[in-house]
Structure formats: C-alpha cells, structure tokens
A and B are shown apart, each in its own frame.
Chain A
Amino acid sequence: AQTVTQSQPEMSVQEAETVTLSCTYDTSESDYYLFWYKQPPSRQMILVIRQEAYKQQNATENRFSVNFQKAAKSFSLKISDSQLGDAAMYFCAYVGGSNYKLTFGKGTLLTVNP
C-alpha cells in the first residue's frame, strides 16, 4: 500500500525567509502524481503545486517549488520569500497507477513570524 510521510509536524519561518517542508512516499508504481495542498485556518484545501513522476524537471509555481527525488521517493516543498499568508497546514499527497485514491500525509503546520 502507498504511504506518505511528513516527518515535520510543525515548522516556523521568518517572513521573507525560505523554508522547506519534507515529504517521503512509498510506492511500487512507476506512474504517479504528487501534490502539495495548503489548508489555511479557513480549512479550504488549496492546491499549491503538482508533479508528474515521469517529468524530471521540478515543478515551480511562483514562490513555491519542489525538489522531486524519484529514486529516493522524496518530494519536498520550498517556499521562498515567505509571507504571512503562507501560514497554514500543508499536506503532501500521492495518487498513482490505476488507483484513484489520494493518499495524504499527516500534514505540517507552518507558522510565519513577522
């Protein structure tokens, strides 16, 4: 069974600084997709970034980028120039092969200090 592990229950960063959130996963599939979702206090689940396993290039969305290490099954999220609005719970998620289920990690609570 696929598993997603986020080893950092909580992280904090100073405004304007850079922070990296870790995620590892376990799968036997060769074709899969990875996502980072953000859940602010409003509890809305917002997609931050998406990575297809067949793509070697790391995905980037403005201040958000990933470091995708397929051999190591690692998928970390880097937030540059952190802003107060980035404070939220961040979930790493996996879906793969013929499956349809999104498997979520337990989440990392990010605090941004002014």
Chain B
Amino acid sequence: DAGVIQSPRHEVTEMGQEVTLRCKPISGHNSLFWYRQTMMRGLELLIYFNNNVPIDDSGMPEDRFSAKMPNASFSTLKIQPSEPRDSAVYFCASTHRTGTSHYEQFFGPGTRLTVL
C-alpha cells in the first residue's frame, strides 16, 4: 500500500518566490496534518484538516502561509512570498479519527525546503 506521498522531496528557491508543497494522504484517512521541523523549534503543527475542513490553523506562522484541501486525496501548503527563515523540512501526515479514538499518524517523507 502506498503511504503518504509528498512532492517535491527537495525544493530550493530564492527569497520572494512562491513555493507550493503537495501531499496525498493515505486512502481512507480523514485527518491530515502539516508539520514543520527545524533544529531550533523541533516539530511544529502548522494546520490540521478533518474531512477536508481546516480545523485549526493556529500554527501557521503568518499570512504568507496558506493551506488547502480541495478533496480527500490532495492537500497543498503554499508560502508566498518565501523567506530564508522558512527553510525547514515540511511533513504531511494522515490518520483516521473516529470520535475520541487516536491512531498513529502516518508521515510522508517530507519536503526539504531551502530559501536562499
């Protein structure tokens, strides 16, 4: 079975450019998460979708960041304009939630973003 798919795996861009990261969750999962990992701050939750609806975007750093989930099999995280401090590894994860049951989140391979 395919796991969580992220693209691109690596992205190098210049400051001010728009960056779009893509994620395909595991089929049948109804919850999707975007995380950012840096040495300084560790793993941070950016945004959480449940049944394609954004539930909590309080972790999104600022208005330059936006995320969408147009359907159950696709999500994007966009940074516009990008800045050097956005350089990090961005993970997408998915899980299936029912009620208060918590199952492990399955992570994609991550996108390493470098903003010059």
Contact = CB atoms under 8 A, between A and B. Distances in A.
A30 to B, nearest CB: 11
Contacts of B34: none
Given A35-B104, A45-B91, A95-B102, A104 B43 contact: yes
Interface in B89-104: 89, 91, 93, 97, 100, 102, 104
Contacts, number: 43
B107 A44 contact: yes
B104 A31 contact: no
A100 B43 contact: no
A101 B102 CA distance: 10
B55 interface: yes
A47 B109 CA distance: 13
A97 B110 contact: no
12 contacts: A31-B100, A32-B102, A33-B102, A43-B109, A50-B104, A95-B102, A98-B100, A100-B48, A100-B56, A100-B97, A101-B45, A102-B33
Contact of A45 (B56, B97, B100, B107): B107
